[in-house]
Amino acid sequence: MVKNIIDVERLSKSFDISSREPGLKGTIKHFFRRKTKSLKVIKNISFKIKEGEIVGFLGANGAGKTTILKMLCGLIYPSEGTISVSGHLPFRRKDNFLKNITLIMGQKQQLIWDLPPIESFYLNASIYDLDKNEAKRRIRKLSDMLEIDNELYIPVRKLSLGQRMKSELLAALIHEPNILFLDEPTLGLDINAQRNLRKFLQKYNEETNATICLTSHYMKDITSLCKRVICVHNGSISYDGKLDLLLKKLTPVKEILLVCHSEKDVLQIENSGFTVKNKTKNEITIKVKNNSITSSLKTILNNFDIEDLYINEPPIDEIIGKILIKKDYDT
């Protein structure tokens, strides 16, 4: 049985946030008498993640995804609850724990700006106490996987965003961590760079059985990498389970476009009890529940003379958009 590598129980986090009124008066008032209020950004959440799983955290901006990742890494102290990552209490940040994890943030970088990435890799290698030959071997292996070569010797400031992100990944993975926390790793990358990065993460997970926790606003990242998603809404978990199931829940019906030979066929289909979305002279679109697709298609093909048919699913972005604003998926 695969063991749980991350175990979170009744976790909460509150921050003191200061707010002020607009305008000069508000600024002066804020300077002399700062009003702060405690804001609970994570509310009593619990979940477990198994070794080797790739889990996507979904939620709108400010939902609390990054705060959860940062608590899992040990960067932020939880206000309540317990976290165990690889058997460690993350916020103690013990060396053995830190050697097992990595955090990659799409919007922040650790590479030395004026030097080629290779210098940052060797610096990280010395911090993780790797000898030179071992560091060289790992750099070669990861650069092959990431398909970067000449870029290793060009100053970071002269690299494209995609090349820089690949180098950031290499710097963050040189110690071969078995838990990866990725906070919007494909942010700002073009489509090809995004695809390459996803391909790399998939391969890394397959080869090393590393556990990956990922947040992203690019739905392709989630759909192509994560079988399981945790949806966060206002600091609470609104869904934790398989992505497929969630999509089914959010899209209980599919649309079938039927191309008929004549208007008569269209009218016959319309009168046979299907829910019609729209129709034209020789085309009709009907809505069919996911669990009755096969039987409905059988009925149509046996009873009507159909020229062609198309089964349409709503675009994934549209479905995920619903996730970001929806609070509960069980009802």
Work out which of 49, 54, 55, 76 binds other proteins, going by CB under 8 A.
76
Can you tell me the distance from the alpha carbon of 203 to that of 173, in angstroms, rounded to the nearest whole number?
A: 13
Interface characters, 47-66, with other proteins (x: CB under 8 A): -------------------x
Q: Is position 27 an interface residue for other proteins (rule: CB under 8 A)? A: no
Residue 4: CB minimum distance to other proteins, A: 22
The vertex-132 CA angle with 129 and 135, nearest 5°, equals 75
Rounded CA-CA distance 143/158 in Å is 18
Site residues for other proteins, window 233-252 (CB under 8 A)? Answer: none
Tell me how far, at minimum, the Cβ of 99 lies from other proteins, in Å: 5
163 to 12, 99, 172, 173, 245: CA distances (angstroms): 37, 25, 14, 15, 35
Report helix, strand or coil for 218. Answer: coil
Length of the chain counted residue by residue: 331
Size of the site for other proteins (CB under 8 A): 36
Q: Which residues of 196-222 are buried (b: 16+ CB within 10 A; e: fewer)?
A: bbbebbeebbeeeebbbbbbbbbbebb
DSSP assigned state of 291: G
Among positions 87-146, residues that touch other proteins (CB under 8 A) are 93, 95, 98-99, 101-103, 105, 107-110, 112-115, 119-120, 122-124, 126-129
The residues in 142-171 that bind other proteins, with binding defined as CB under 8 A, are: 155
**Which CB atom, from 17 or from 191, has the smaller least distance to other proteins?**
17
Tokens 């949806």 found at: 231
**Which lies closer to other proteins via its Cβ, residue 99 or residue 136?**
99
Task: Return the DSSP state at 321.
Answer: H
Which residues, 308 to 327, sit near other proteins by CB under 8 A?
A: none
Contacts with other proteins, residue ranges (CB under 8 A): 15, 66, 70, 73-77, 93, 95, 98-99, 101-103, 105, 107-110, 112-115, 119-120, 122-124, 126-129, 155, 183-184
